[in-house]
A and B are shown apart, each in its own frame.
Chain A
């Protein structure tokens, strides 16, 4: 019974990947609305462990390994949260070791090029250094991997066809042009959006006056997530910021959980992450909006734990 389900699952995801490839081949930049991605029973992997490289490996293996998401010769964007001028212990940015290990898996899967960036809130140079991510990526010593600062000139205004709150916004073009987009948020408390998880991490791919999105953060996040599709969302909950988010600063607000959550379904991943904070998915408006807008499955009973 179990074997049948897995085969079924693989077939469906391959179908989804194929339809995505076809969609990607169409020469328009505002990507296709991604109906195919929300397959009926999305797989969700949750693993715990203190050894981060091993934890990443186990979590990815549960979903069929990175080869399942990244094919040989593809260009991959890995989008961590590097939003704040904070150290790894402070839990405001994705853990550098998670970032580094994910990139290693991309390279092992045969990625031609891996690009990392974030449009940060504090000074980007300080964030890249202080987060430990600049050093972690430099330690890889791979010419295929680039951690870059986003540049004004590479943003492009696009129509958001399925937009409810936003009908047009600027997006970072390299993120849209890549073959694969791996979303690597850190799970944190957040004033206006309750939590910041996978959907909120896409804020780092857009240009413009981002504060304006706060007026209706849930629908706005759903809007931009219809343009930037995450092929894989891997939520870093090795330590989570439970208060004073999203930038924290006090170690007393950081709670160690040694957990990673991964899924091809961004809503399912976000939905599960809410439980780490003692919340129900319905209490986080962006998760509700994402599910309602067809970005993925919120009901954890309809998600297949792998």
Chain B
């Protein structure tokens, strides 16, 4: 029976709609004239069951307020199956789109490859339970948004604004007026206010491309074989109530085996955890036999091919890695410049909550937050660092706490945030102009934002070629400094700043009863 609106078209429409919704929310992840963000820009992670799992396994309360929608997704998955991957996931939609554009691989992996994602999920969960949370590295939603934030959008901005700027500077008849005419729309709605640039752009792009190009090996390679979120939703789908009829291949036809994007219809039956409910098969079936019906899973509805040994091995792997990784000497002692956004919880808890999604880096108004590579230790990859030479924490801004989906950065009210100590500014007297060269400067003092300035100056008499001279020499008052880093950003010296923020006196640092 041919319906006017086929399920396939409906699914495609929902996929595109979700993708554009998430892209639009991404563009709104920015200061737009109000201290509080107008839209739930972090929606993508509030519906992310893997983020919820990370939050649940971290010490402290589960972030109910932010993450309850993720539990709705889990409940719906238990009921329907792995619809999220087929209908909603923006990475899945991207993979489908890229596959359609560049072609898809047809090589068929051995079915044991599918196990990898379960192994990954179980190992990640075990290690998270024991204190090492790395879900964000493999979370497809984190991967998607992080790639967008750190690599794709900055490139988009750079290319587009270069074109606009080129024809603005070099007047070309017709072209220049047209481009100048449409420029305000792009500037106000599509381009970034400050040109975005991040330290791990290329590395992030490569990881994104690797996942996308696996599409050339096998259709939805990532979703079939690697995605831990897919694995989690797959496990939830085992007993879902929406059944494919017939469950697996028919004896007289091989179309399903060749056309199913997930290879979920097999000779033995339907792999419940692999079917994305894309509903393509209801259309491509030459005999129109396939339909989806409500009911309890039958005998040909198959669960994941996981032996007890595999499960135990995965658990053991996670359980072994976690304590070893945590045994390292404290990173804050190894790297005194390890600064986190204001409101970040204590480092240990922070790493257990942060899912490396990149939302805080996208929203940071001062361009201060950058992804860590090794600065926060090997397990801190892609976590946000405050790099004060590149950007500073805006005194009146609380946006990073507003977007963090897992409570790694607590939501602070403005007065509280303005008292939160990120670190302490320290002068390098070998470089600072008044100290080192007897020249006037005081740019740091000018910019220091605390009501009672944390950088003040003393009048000192210095000898110069023209005789003694009064010089204004800056000094930090540690009691008042909150480590926002504007002094380091604005220090007018070339290269290294003559004032640097170190992680001394951080508000988040728990009191150590031993040392």
Contacts and interface: CB of A to CB of B under 8 A. Distances in A.
Interface stretch (A26-34, A57-65, A125-133): A125-133
Q: Enumerate the 9 nearest inter-chain pairs by beta-carbon distance, A residue then B residue, closest first.
A: A211-B492, A249-B451, A211-B443, A250-B451, A192-B442, A191-B445, A191-B442, A153-B165, A212-B492
6 contacts: A123-B366, A125-B32, A126-B394, A190-B446, A244-B451, A249-B451
Given A153-B165, A244-B453, 16 more contacts: A85-B396, A121-B447, A122-B394, A123-B397, A130-B396, A134-B33, A152-B165, A192-B446, A211-B441, A211-B443, A211-B491, A214-B446, A244-B451, A244-B452, A247-B447, A250-B452
A121 B193 CA distance: 15
A248 interface: yes
B78 interface: no
Nearest to A149: B193
Contacts of A216: 440
Interface in B423-442: 433, 439-442
A215 interface: yes
Interface of chain B, main secondary structure: loop
Interface string B381-403: 00000000000001111000000
A215 B451 CA distance: 25
Interface string A193-220: 0000000000000000111101111000
Interface residues of A, number: 29
A2 to B, nearest CB: 44
B365 interface: yes
Interface string B359-376: 000000110000000000
Contacts, number: 80
Nearest to B193: A125
B168 A211 contact: no
B334 interface: no
A144 to B, nearest CB: 17
Which size bracket describes the interface of B in this complex? 20 to 34
B442 A214 contact: yes
Interface in A98-137: 121-123, 125-126, 129-130, 134
B396 to A, nearest CB: 5
Nearest to B166: A153
Contacts of B396: 85, 126, 130
Interface in A272-301: none
B169 A153 contact: yes
Nearest to B443: A211
Contacts of A130: 396
B366 A248 contact: no
Nearest to A253: B451
Contacts of A149: 193
Contacts of A210: 492
A249 B448 CA distance: 10
Contact of B31 (A123, A192, A215, A249): A123
